[in-house]
Amino acid sequence: QGRAHRIRKRSNHVTLVVGANNNTQA
């Protein structure tokens, strides 16, 4: 469970960064 939680947290962070970057570019 700890491993899955860590991956989920990292994925969420990446999504947040990508979304913010995309919004800025748009």
Q: What is the pLDDT of residues 15-26, one digit of tens each?
A: 666 666 666 665
Confidence band, pLDDT 50/70/90 cuts, at residue 3: confident
Query: What whole-number percentage of the chain has pLDDT above 70?
Result: 12
Which amino acid type is present at position 26? A
Mean pLDDT of the chain: 66
pLDDT at 12 over 70: no
Give the residue-averaged pLDDT of 4-23.
67
Residue with tokens 């570019």: 25
Give long-range contacts, CB 8 A cutoff, 24+ apart: 3-10. Answer: none
Q: In 3D, which of 2, 5, 4, 25 has the Cα closest to residue 17?
A: 25
**Of residues 26 and 3, which shows the higher confidence score?**
3
Residue 15's domain comprises 1-26
Domain count, the chain: 1
How far, in Å, are 16, 17, 22 from residue 25 at the CA level?
14, 12, 5
